[in-house]
Structure 1
């Protein structure tokens, strides 16, 4: 859900912004999407590990 909402977000640093301006509209969007995908992967991994930890710490429901 967070990834779907962040598609219109601008994830470029100042150096990447200057490079994207020189590339044009299409490659700039691709660069921005690549940056968002690189940010999404570690966040999804941390969420998965956090969920697994939370499940292991819950008291058993017998």
Structure 2
């Protein structure tokens, strides 16, 4: 068991060592923000990214809540 832990630790250290500094912006967003003619404000681009990121989380939460209600909601009604 101790050998597995050591192997896991070595793999984790190796993978962390492989990471490099990356730019977290797509080429189109970068071009839109760097060009002075476009007039796109960086805040608007950031708001759009947050909007696109939030929709999947809301959908997953809604589906999870619906499944929860279907699974556990009937038990309350049957006990009454």
CA drift of 1:23 comes to: 4.9
The runs of at least 4 consecutive aligned structure 1 residues that moved more than 4 Å come to none
TM-score (norm 2): 0.48
Q: Give aligned pairs, total.
A: 50
TM-score (norm 1): 0.60
Q: Which of the numbers 57, 69, 73 marks the counterpart of 1:43? A: 57
Unpaired runs of 5+ residues, structure 1, are: 1-11
Which structure has the greater CA radius of gyration? Answer: 2
Question: Whose relative contact order is higher, 1 or 2, with alpha carbons under 8 Å and at least 6 apart?
Answer: 1
What is the CA RMSD across the aligned residues, in angstroms?
A: 2.6
